[in-house]
Amino acid sequence: MNKRIMWFAAACSLLLSGIAAQAQEKRTVFTESDFHWQGKMAAGQTLEIVGRNGEINAGGASGESAEVNATKKSRNGDDEREAFIEVVEYSDGVTICAVYAKEARPGRCHRGGVDSENSSGFWHNSRAKIEFSVQVPRGVTLKAETTNGGIHAHNLNSVVEANTTNGSVDVSTSEWASGHSTNGHLDITMGKTDWKGDLELATTNGGISVSLPGSAAFQLHAETTNGNIHTDFPITVMGTFGTKNISGTVGSGGRELRLATTNGGIEVRKTS
């Protein structure tokens, strides 16, 4: 009997936790061709943009309000109707997704990704583009993800995580940034090196250029297959090293910076 009571109490607790989590979320769907969202965000919160077809462009906001604008473009009206934007507001941030589905309903956008139409290749077959323009307040982390398009974030005062498949990543921030692509170059300028754990910049078809303060200290691991490696920083290396693979200590060392590409060169620069 006691076991049944305990099981029932546990089930009620899980149910109430789920209800509370849902209550903290605010979901809104936008089907218009021109999208606008604005809201006050505090340092430490996260603004996440999840695209699919289209670029993401970001800059630093002058105040405490984040602003996101998007334009939906298509040569085919049917394609445009099957693309919409969902906004999910949490207590600690906002996730904004480009969604490709026949039915514009909430529930497809979530942290880290989006659930588009289940039919095979649905969003790949859509020619609709949704391009985002973002203004990020100081101290608000920007997470930007797209598949077909570049990510360009300039003059930010925020931690940045930028990931794309077919496109370049171009970021300048007073904080630190990570970047990933498959077909595109990475050009990252950082003002600080106090990232947590390892920081990785990686692509397959493209070069990598990273600029850091002259006083930076970190462990460097850089590797390319078809390209060369150049660094402005003196590196202390134990053992052998070559022009395509370097592992060593910059300054007093510290956190790890991992740079990897297959087809492209790697440059580690000092900012002036």
Residue type, 13: S
Please work out, in degrees rounded to the nearest 5, the angle formed at the alpha carbon of residue 259 by the alpha carbons of 258 and 263. Answer: 155
Per-residue confidence (pLDDT) for residue 248, from 0 to 100: 93
Position 120 scores a pLDDT of: 41
Tens-digit pLDDT string for the chain (272 aa): 455 555 555 555 554 444 444 447 999 999 998 999 999 999 999 999 999 999 999 999 999 999 999 998 876 655 556 789 999 999 999 999 999 988 899 999 999 888 865 444 444 556 689 999 999 999 999 999 999 999 999 999 999 999 999 999 999 999 999 999 999 999 999 999 999 889 999 999 999 999 999 999 999 999 999 999 999 999 998 766 677 899 999 999 989 999 999 999 999 999 97
DSSP per-residue letters across 186-225: EEEEES----SS-EEEE-SBS-EEEEE-TT--EEEEEE-S
The three-point CA angle 156-30-33 to 5° equals 85
The whole-model pTM stands at: 0.87
How are beta strands 245-250 and 186-190 bridged, if at all? unpaired
Find tokens 């077809």 and name the residue. Answer: 53
